[in-house]
Amino acid sequence: MKKTYILFLIVFSGFLFSQQEESDSLKCLKFKQSVLINTLLNSYKKNLKPKEENNSEIFGCGMAYIDYKEQMRCNDLLSFMSKYNFLPDEIRIFEKNEFQFKYLDVIWIENKSKEKSERYKLKGNNLRLYNQWKLRNTKSSCAIIIIVDKINNGNEYIQMKISYPNEMKEIIKNYTLNFSERK
């Protein structure tokens, strides 16, 4: 009798923990599993000024906090991919070896230039960050610099430099995103 009781507890607890709520979704799973997308998202988020977190929320247990953080990460992934969904595909064109994405070094710089001639030119703090990154980046086999110039007319001009320090080779691609037409 005691053995069946223990067996019942094990099976029942396994059944309970295997159930998912209806609100659970797998829409972020394909993005979460991509090393390249996570690397791009992390470099993008480093550049953003940290928002003040609302500490007024009280979590009853650790799982609620973990679910909250996962939901926030999922929201970040979806908003990043809705805006910059072409970047991972463009990088994969040049870097065929998926193994290299683990060691990929990415810096994301947001510029605000007023003149077309100043586009993609780094000044001040952005130039200092770039120089620090360049000194640190001597050992990686592939490095990416993404410079985003935001213009008041709703456009973003993106320059992506893929550099291979070992081969002394650099590929530069420019993109224009028009957000005034999007809704």
Distance from C-alpha of 36 to C-alpha of 101, rounded to nearest angstrom: 6
In terms of average pLDDT, the best of 49-63, 69-83, 113-127, 167-181 is: 69-83
Average pLDDT over residues 47-66: 65
Task: Report pLDDT for 38.
Answer: 82
Q: Tell me, yes or no, if the pTM score tops 0.85.
A: no
Exposure of 149 by Cβ count < 10 A (0-12 exposed, 13-18 middle, 19+ buried)?
A: buried
pLDDT for 15 equals: 54
For residue 22, the model assigns a pLDDT of 42
The pLDDT of residue 125: 75
> If you average pLDDT over residues 28-34, what whole number do you get?
71
For 126-176, write each residue's pLDDT tens digit: 777 777 777 766 666 677 888 888 776 677 888 888 877 667 777 888 888
Which residue bears the tokens 């979590």?
59
Kindly state the helix (H) or strand (E) to which residue 112 belongs, with its residue range: none
In 3D space, the residue among 130, 178, 122, 183 whose CA is nearest the CA of residue 151 turns out to be 178
Could you identify the residue written with the tokens 């829409």?
A: 27
Q: Is the pLDDT of residue 31 over 80?
A: no
Most confident of 24-33, 41-50, 55-64, 75-84: 75-84
What pLDDT is recorded for position 54? 57
Q: What pLDDT is recorded for position 23?
A: 44
For the purposes of burial, counting CB atoms within 10 Å of the CB of 139, is it exposed (0-12), middle (13-18) or buried (19 or more)? exposed
- Spatial separation of the C-alpha atoms in residues 158 and 82, rounded to whole Å: 15
Say if CB 149 and CB 111 are below 8 A apart. Answer: yes
pLDDT per position as a tens digit, 82-104 = 888 888 888 887 766 655 666 77
Q: Please, which residues bridge with residue 109 across strands?
A: 147
In total, the chain counts a number of residues equal to: 183
- CA gap 124, 120 in Å, rounded: 13
User: CA-CA distance, 154 to 177, in Å (whole number)?
Assistant: 8
User: How much is the pLDDT for 153?
Assistant: 67
Instruction: Give the dihedral of Cα atoms 106, 79, 148, 154; nearest 10 deg.
Output: 180
Q: Which of 60-64, 114-118, 144-148 has the lowest mean pLDDT?
A: 114-118
Tell me how far apart the terminal alpha carbons of the chain are, to the nearest angstrom.
64
User: Residue ranges per domain, the chain?
Assistant: 87-178
pLDDT-derived band at 14 (thresholds 50, 70, 90) equals low
HSE, side-chain direction, 13 A CA sphere, residue 178: 2
The one-character DSSP state at 77 is: H
